[in-house]
Chains A and B, each alone.
Chain A
Amino acid sequence: MSRGKFLIAAILVALLQTAAIAGIMYKRAHEISTGQEVILESRFVDPRDLFRGHYVILNLNVGQLENATTEIDFTFKRQEDVFVELEEGENGFWVARKLWHEIPSDHISVFIKGKILRTPLKKTDRYQINFPQDRYFAPKKRAKELEKFRRDQQLGVILSIAPNGAGYIKGITIAGDRIYDEPLW
């Protein structure tokens, strides 16, 4: 391979790989700035160990839904994609209204996409839904700061929801106060 060709090829490779990274970052920034903001309540998975390494596991309340009180479009199977229709609750947190297989064409609500992990076995059982937003990465310093909050204070995850149901973490609230806002870039 001639030197000239190698030079051009190397620049092309570096450009394309940079473009791929930039594409990921741009998509996130775009969705965060244009998406619908919702706050979902989350529980601590392990109260003794809030941060495992550099992230906290988020256990969103909308991922655990009682069979008796959950409305669905039709029966779900395990590992199926699910769109959870959200509505704003009384305490500022958004809650699940209905489970859908697809986003209805005439919708006006906000939908978040997840995957059915478990379907209810009986009336009193519950749906378990897994969302991609299952952890929040935090540097050591921020982890230390978050540790000072009491475990019984309500943890909220601010998400920006795209029209296709994809959610992007925008920030964290604790006891109703916005603790962190993620920068666009």
Chain B
Amino acid sequence: MQLGYFSRLKTDSQRWIEKGIIDADAAKAILSEVESQKRGYSFTSVVIMLGVVCLAFAAMTFVAANWDAMPKFLRVLLLLVSMWLAYGAAIVANRRNSVAIADFLVMLGSAIFGATIMLVGQIYHLQGSTQDAVLLWACGALLAALLLRSNSSLWLAIALFTLWFWLGLNFNLFGSNKNEINLLYLAFWAMCGGAAYWLEARKSAHLLMLGILFWLTITLMIYSERYETIAYFLGAYAAFYLCIALAIFSLEKWNSMREFEAPFIAYMVMCIIALTSIWVGILTFGDASDIERMFNTSNQIPVAICLVLTLVVFLYGWNQKMHGVYDVGFCGFWIAVWMLATSFYGAQIPFINEAASLGLSIWLIRMGERQDIASVVRLGYLAFAMVMLLIYFRTAGTLLGTTAFYLISGILLVLGAIFIPRIFRLLRGNKEASA
């Protein structure tokens, strides 16, 4: 139980009694139930734990002081013994039903495994790449996570696989094309994803989403240099909307993501914002002839497939009278908008990207509110601010003028906010009257 929860609940229950939400007996019953869940607090156990920490520090400083004098083999042996001790302690903790401690100790064992790899490399002057060493470490941590069902070890493995991907990069990302697309990371990511689903590891799921976001950003930076491959770029864009559409219905009905739908949608929104930024960046700062070639060679098939799938999802929701059908419809709509935006590029519809991005940010705010996902609402506001900034850069010094664009956008938004809900209410009223 969270520290301070009981005190907070006591204050809240008093307020609820005053407001007539619950009566005094119910409040008493709730408080006694919560109090029964409180774990006994033993000061002795805290002192013992601190004592163990002191002893551990004593052992560490002793070893550190004599480290140079030790033969190499003894050093490695010492680390291996520590690793075995960590797993041994995990067995003891598991036998005592201390699942969280056992989980932490398994991660500690995996961490010592990594430290041993690095130390062996150093003391024996092994000059293999750091990337290979990290990969071996990551595989060891994943093995521990799978065999011992350790969420913490899985978390470590995901972080290490991402580090492995990072170490394989040439840092001159925007320079000449020295980086190759690392597809192997996706295989490792999928393995860790399967493990996270199986273990219901929520923290690992968050890290996985951050990892894939990082991979996508880097990959698209590499792709943005290769204009002829824009089809992948647009395909990824449409796929994110499809993922949002599926997650919305999963949130409402299927629950196939084990309550990870809301953060998943937020991460997909992040991907969309990142992609839109890169997309607009290419259009704004890219070389005109490269952009022309990019559009001429673009392939709408992956986008069209995603559009069709999103529409199928939409029709399913419509048929099932699902609440989220409105947002799923919008997902399809945005895929279609981007398809049109790329198809009509030759005609150069003025400000189509800006207008679509503005609409997207407003939909994000509304969708976040409707689906009760605060992070999506915040991302919507962020996207709105970004679009405003973009419009400023795009319109500064043009015939239209920044002020005029803001003025028109502002008027349209205010009028829309006032009249659209009224129109909907009116339509609903007519429908009810006719019924």
Within 8 A of A (CB), among B126-147: 126-129, 136, 140, 143-144, 147
In the assembled complex, the Cα of A10 lies from the Cα of B91 at a distance in Å of 7
B210 at the interface (CB under 8 A from A): no
A13-B117 in contact (CB<8A): no
In the assembled complex, the Cα of A14 lies from the Cα of B128 at a distance in Å of 23
Within 8 A of B (CB), among A47-80: 79
Chain B's interface: helix, strand, loop or mixed, by majority? helix
Interface centre among B94, B102, B129 (most CB of A within 10 A): B94
A136-B125 in contact (CB<8A): yes
A20 at the interface (CB under 8 A from B): yes
| Candidates B68, B76, B122, B123; contact of A140 at CB < 8 Å | B68
A185-B125 in contact (CB<8A): no
Residues of A within 8 A of B83 (CB): 14, 17-18
Residues of A within 8 A of B149 (CB): 1
| Candidates B121, B140, B148, B178; contact of A20 at CB < 8 Å | B140
A7-B91 in contact (CB<8A): yes
A134 at the interface (CB under 8 A from B): yes
Identify which of A21-29, A117-125, A147-155 touches chain B. Answer: A21-29
In the assembled complex, the Cα of A46 lies from the Cα of B359 at a distance in Å of 59
Within 8 A of B (CB), among A146-184: 167-169, 182-183
A137-B68 in contact (CB<8A): no
Residue of B whose beta carbon sits closest to that of A9: B147
| Candidates B80, B121, B127; contact of A134 at CB < 8 Å | B127
Interface digits, B36-77 against A, CB 8 Å rule (1 contact, 0 not)? 000000000000000000000000000000011001110010
In the assembled complex, the Cα of A102 lies from the Cα of B432 at a distance in Å of 81
A13-B72 in contact (CB<8A): no
A54 to chain B, nearest CB (A): 8
B80-A12 in contact (CB<8A): no
B117-A183 in contact (CB<8A): no
Interface digits, B88-119 against A, CB 8 Å rule (1 contact, 0 not)? 10110011000000100010011001001100
B109-A21 in contact (CB<8A): no
B120 at the interface (CB under 8 A from A): yes
| Candidates B73, B80, B117; contact of A24 at CB < 8 Å | B117
A33 to chain B, nearest CB (A): 13
Residues of B within 8 A of A3 (CB): 94-95
B84 at the interface (CB under 8 A from A): yes
B125-A13 in contact (CB<8A): no
Q: Known contacts A20-B136, A133-B127; decide if A13 and B147 are in contact (CB<8 Å).
A: yes
Given contacts A14-B83, A17-B83, A168-B126, 14 further A-B contacts (CB under 8 A): A1-B149, A6-B102, A6-B148, A10-B90, A14-B109, A18-B80, A18-B83, A20-B117, A24-B117, A79-B178, A131-B127, A133-B127, A169-B127, A185-B72
B127-A13 in contact (CB<8A): no
B143-A16 in contact (CB<8A): yes
B171 at the interface (CB under 8 A from A): no
B125-A6 in contact (CB<8A): no
Interface digits, B142-180 against A, CB 8 Å rule (1 contact, 0 not)? 011001110000000000000000000000000000100
B198 at the interface (CB under 8 A from A): no
Residues of A within 8 A of B143 (CB): 13, 16-17
A185-B73 in contact (CB<8A): yes
- A-B residue pairs in contact (CB < 8 Å), sample of 22: A1-B148, A3-B94, A11-B87, A12-B147, A13-B109, A13-B148, A14-B83, A14-B87, A16-B140, A17-B113, A17-B140, A17-B143, A18-B80, A18-B83, A18-B84, A20-B113, A24-B121, A25-B120, A133-B127, A135-B125, A135-B127, A169-B127
B124 at the interface (CB under 8 A from A): yes
Q: Known contacts A6-B94, A6-B148, A25-B76; decide if A13 and B87 are in contact (CB<8 Å).
A: yes
Interface digits, A85-127 against B, CB 8 Å rule (1 contact, 0 not)? 0000000000000000000000000000000000000000000
Residue of A whose beta carbon sits closest to that of B79: A21
Residues of B within 8 A of A1 (CB): 94, 148-149
